[in-house]
Amino acid sequence: MTLREIIKYIIPYGLENDMRHYRDKKNGHLLVDAYLEYLRNNGDTKLKEEPSRYKSIIAVQGFGNSGSSAVLDFLREMRNIQVFGDVEKIASVAEDDEYSYEVTFPHLSGGLFDIEKYIDSSNIFHNDSVINRFVSIMEHSLMYRNSPEVRPAVFKFLAQITNFMLPNLKQKYYNAALSPITEKGSTIFTMKHFDRESYRTLCRHFLNELFNSFNLSKEIEHIALDQFFCDLEFDMERYLEYLPNIKVIVVYRDPRDIYAFSKMRNVEWIPHTDIETFVEWIRLSTEKFDLHSHEYLSVRYEDFVLDYEKEKNRVTDFLGINSENHVHKRKAFDPDVSKRLVGLWKQHPEDNEKYKFIYDNLKEYCYETPT
């Protein structure tokens, strides 16, 4: 285990984040400083209008502890796919690599989908706020930090959406609550206007240039991303306008196991302390999810583990990937290891009344083990 991995196990994630923010406080608003340096040294801020070098960009998403990492680990075993996503040590037998991080900025607050809401807005406060949020999520993303080759694409996109900026002001201003806590102060951004088609075209150029810039081997024909378009809107028309070669896989799981796992691990962002709130959370998360959609592939986690041969063929058929590329079999995903995570709720009979409530309200997502 590397020193970095040891530290991640010892230091809570929140504290690790605080340490990172402290370094930023000492160094100033790092992305803005790097962006200004880029503008000084590069006259060309236009994004390349180039196609994606990949046959497909694969977005694998779930609903929180729903098992999407199992499909991602399976895809790690393909010689022609590069996976971007965390390795979930509780079930995975995969090893971390330099791309063991999520690329989630499109759907986050301040991400591409959020910016789209303001493309015809004249409200300078909202426009400044959304661009500052974009800068913040990029600056603190592991993609931006660990893969410097993508930064020119980020800077070009920022230049293309920004009318002008007032960088590193000493005083707080009208969006003071959003100001980065740095010694160099705040930055004000003004935003250009776009119609929806031109903005989505710009985003397509941005994403293609960003993904094309990764230093991946020539044998890589597909990129798989953990939670990339996970906005729970399932708007395939929009997704395809952003990335025409996008393919979406949605993994869902018995909500009784999600509840049991979240309670066992005390996952606070999943409301496991109140069963009615938990059920409502699942309903909100799956409100626009269509189990039978032909636009994306729905995979039940339990089936992927217990009926592995059939389900892995469904995945490769959907993606159009030849089985000959599956050269690292069971080196990242071993269904025999993951079986212990199926039916977790049965190990906790003290919560049977809660499991019955979940079943009565979310029957369509509950899994009955064949007898």
Give CA–CA dist 90/68, Å, rounded: 13
pTM for the full predicted model = 0.88
pLDDT of residue 183: 52
pLDDT of residue 91: 66
Structure tokens that stand for 78 in this block: 């393909």
3-state DSSP assignment of residue 79: coil
pLDDT in tens, 200-229: 999 999 999 999 999 999 999 999 999 998
Amino acid at 101: Y
Count of Cβ atoms closer than 10 Å to residue 207 Cβ: 22
Give CA–CA dist 299/75, Å, rounded: 14
pLDDT of residue 184: 56
Give CA–CA dist 313/341, Å, rounded: 22
Q: Which residues of the chain have pLDDT under 70?
A: 1-29, 89, 91-92, 174, 176-185, 369-371
pLDDT in tens, 285-308: 999 999 999 999 999 999 999 999
Selection from 297, 332, 296, 328 nearest residue 313 by Cα: 297
The shares of helix, strand and coil residues in the chain, as percent rounded to the nearest 5, are: 50, 10, 40
pLDDT of residue 251: 96
- Strands (E) across 22-87 are located at 56-61, 81-84
pLDDT of residue 22: 38
Q: Are 345 and 256 in contact (CB under 8 A)?
A: yes
